[in-house]
């Protein structure tokens, strides 16, 4: 089988950062290892060759006049916060689609797997002959899911200027135009198959008119070897680098932005500190994407007197992450929005118990609290109570860690890729 992945996002796929590129790369390499011919079509990033091959996956890169050639610039999260930015995003993705179409006409493929809705919607419109080979994976979290549920009815009126709505933290919400003209629904109604991360998303798509027969639930996966068996030498280096040897470690992995609930995290650990627990919290991830929000997080840390206990690391090299998960006593993710919960699965693969919120697939991953604790999103007090409970009970942490490591096997990339290959086979019939 010949599979072509199309990725028009703001990050490179191989050796990149971010959850969606991680999904694209792992599906591509696992499909290639299963004996299929796999190509990834992405934009031309500065310093990368126009063509390349990694682990049996061929890469073709589009040299575009629009957008950015440096990863993590012109990020959609920032661009859609204004009508001008949204127009630039749509213009760039349209240009991407038209240049991609020029390449697609000369490529032989059985399945075109698309992962973001803008460029793919353009392709489905101007080249309808692609639809019967197009598989769309909707990487949706609660924010865009809420927009789909609202369906442009006007029930969730915009509060900000220029037709944008804001969330409770004052961060990004979904622009009104995206609510009214959902590119996700548009694309799902044209692709021959759409995979979604959880049953709730499937129900919302079906309610918006997408045929249920075209919707399949396929979760994201986790690399069990990478996170389950980190290099002991790297663990020792990371332990020394972040000063994790002398007290219990709490870990958060993700970009510092409103939807990740980092403000709730700081409020929660302030409560944990007040209850008498000593700990070190490592906040591992980009912290310059939303400078105003990051400044707010830093202010809360100072006001709570947690400067010696909390570290905002900024970007963490990929090779350090497995060691951080292994060193953590408790992984904490107070997200307000997730489609799946990739970092939760990674922590579980490392045998680390989790405190997570009832969003995305986190409750399912934690198996009715057998692998950690589940609390309501936005409830910092409940997060703090759950963390304090686990810090005070080493036996529970150890038992939950064992269960977590075992359960993570249910979402190995090998198994997830088998599910995706089944979808591809249906497309070929």
Please write the tens of the pLDDT for every residue from 232-252: 999 999 999 999 998 999 999
End-to-end C-alpha distance for the chain, whole angstroms:
12
19 compared with 379, residue with greater pLDDT = 379
Q: Given this model, what pLDDT does residue 141 score?
A: 62
Q: Which residue has the tokens 């977590």?
A: 404
Q: How far is CA 377 from CA 14, 80, 358, 359, in A?
A: 32, 24, 6, 7
* Res. 330 pLDDT band, cuts 50 70 90: very high
The predicted model scores a pTM of 0.86
Give me the domains of the chain, ranges plus CATH numbers. Answer: 2-221+413-428 (3.40.50.2000), 224-410 (3.40.50.2000)
Q: Which residues pair with 57 in a beta bridge?
A: 38, 54
Of the candidates 303, 315, 239, the one whose C-alpha atom is nearest the C-alpha of residue 269 is: 303
| Confidence check: pLDDT of 123 > 60 | yes
The chain-wide mean pLDDT, for the chain, equals 90
57-62 and 51-54 beta bridge pairing:
antiparallel
Q: What are phi and psi of 103, to 5 degrees?
A: -75, -40
Angle made by CA atoms 320, 260, 66, in degrees to the nearest 5: 80
171 compared with 411, residue with greater pLDDT = 411
Q: How far is CA 35 from CA 14, 29, 39, 134, 420, in A?
A: 19, 10, 13, 21, 14
Q: What are phi and psi of 266, to 5 degrees?
A: -65, -40
| 333: three-class secondary structure by DSSP | strand
The answer to which of 56-65, 99-108, 156-165, 186-195 has the lowest mean pLDDT is 156-165
Q: How far is CA 297 from the centre of its chain?
A: 21
Q: What is the pLDDT of residues 161-193, one digit of tens each?
A: 233 333 444 444 555 555 556 889 999 999 999
Q: Which residue has the tokens 């927009």?
A: 147
| Confidence check: pLDDT of 77 > 80 | no
* Res. 150 pLDDT band, cuts 50 70 90: low
- Check: CB of residue 211 under 8 Å from CB of residue 191: no
Q: Which residue has the tokens 């996956």?
A: 57
- The span from the CA of 263 to the CA of 256, in Å, is 9
- The span from the CA of 332 to the CA of 373, in Å, is 10
Q: What is the mean pLDDT of residues 377-398?
A: 97
Question: Which are the contacts of 409, defined by CB distance < 8 A and separation ≥ 6?
Answer: 224
Q: What is the pLDDT of residues 335-351, one digit of tens each?
A: 998 889 999 999 999 99
Q: Given this model, what pLDDT does residue 368 score?
A: 78
38 compared with 167, residue with greater pLDDT = 38
Q: Given this model, what pLDDT does residue 146 score?
A: 59
> What would the two tokens of residue 160 be?
């900000």
Return the number of other C-beta atoms located less than 10 Å from residue 235's C-beta. 17
> What would the two tokens of residue 316 be?
């963490």
- Check: CB of residue 247 under 8 Å from CB of residue 280: yes
Q: What is the mean pLDDT of residues 319-340?
A: 95
Q: Given this model, what pLDDT does residue 62 score?
A: 97
| Confidence check: pLDDT of 21 > 60 | yes
């Amino acid at each position: 089988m010949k599979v072509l992945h199309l990725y028009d996002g703001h990050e490179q796929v191989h050796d990149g950062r971010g959850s969606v590129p991680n999904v694209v790369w792992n599906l591509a390499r696992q499909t290639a290892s299963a004996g299929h011919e796999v190509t990834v079509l992405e934009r031309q990033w500065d310093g990368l060759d126009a063509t390349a091959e990694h682990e049996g996956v061929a890469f073709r890169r589009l040299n575009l006049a629009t957008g950015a050639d440096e990863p993590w610039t012109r990020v959609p999260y920032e661009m859609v916060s204004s009508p001008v930015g949204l127009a630039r995003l749509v213009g760039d993705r349209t240009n991407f689609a038209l240049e991609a179409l020029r390449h697609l006409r000369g490529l032989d493929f059985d399945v075109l797997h698309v992962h973001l809705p803008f460029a793919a919607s353009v392709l489905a419109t101007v080249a309808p002959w692609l639809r019967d080979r197009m598989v769309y994976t909707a990487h949706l979290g609660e924010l865009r899911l809420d927009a789909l549920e609202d369906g442009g009815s006007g029930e969730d009126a915009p509060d900000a200027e220029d037709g944008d709505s804001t969330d409770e933290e004052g961060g990004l919400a979904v622009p009104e135009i995206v609510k009214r003209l959902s590119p996700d629904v548009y694309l799902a109604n044209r692709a021959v198959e759409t995979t979604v991360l959880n049953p709730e998303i499937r129900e919302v798509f079906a309610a918006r008119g997408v045929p249920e027969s075209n919707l399949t639930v396929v979760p994201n996966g986790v690399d069990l070897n990478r996170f389950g068996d980190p290099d002991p030498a790297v663990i020792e280096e990371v332990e020394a680098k972040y000063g994790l040897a002398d007290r219990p470690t709490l870990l958060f992995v993700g970009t510092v932005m409103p939807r990740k609930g980092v403000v709730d995290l700081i409020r929660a650990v302030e409560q944990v500190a007040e209850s008498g627990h000593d700990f070190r919290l490592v906040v591992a991830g980009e912290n310059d994407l939303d400078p105003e929000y990051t400044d707010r997080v830093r202010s809360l840390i100072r006001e709570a007197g947690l400067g010696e206990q909390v570290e905002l690391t900024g970007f963490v090299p990929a090779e350090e992450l497995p060691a951080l998960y292994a060193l953590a006593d408790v992984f904490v993710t107070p997200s307000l929005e997730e489609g799946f919960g990739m970092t939760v699965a990674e922590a579980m693969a490392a045998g680390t118990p989790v405190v997570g919120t009832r969003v995305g697939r986190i409750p399912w991953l934690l198996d009715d609290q057998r692998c950690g604790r589940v609390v309501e999103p936005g409830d910092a007090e409940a997060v703090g109570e759950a963390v304090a409970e686990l810090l005070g009970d080493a036996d529970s942490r150890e038992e939950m860690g064992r269960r977590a490591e075992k359960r993570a096997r249910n979402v190995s990339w090998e198994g997830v890729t088998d599910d995706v290959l089944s979808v591809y086979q249906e497309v070929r019939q």
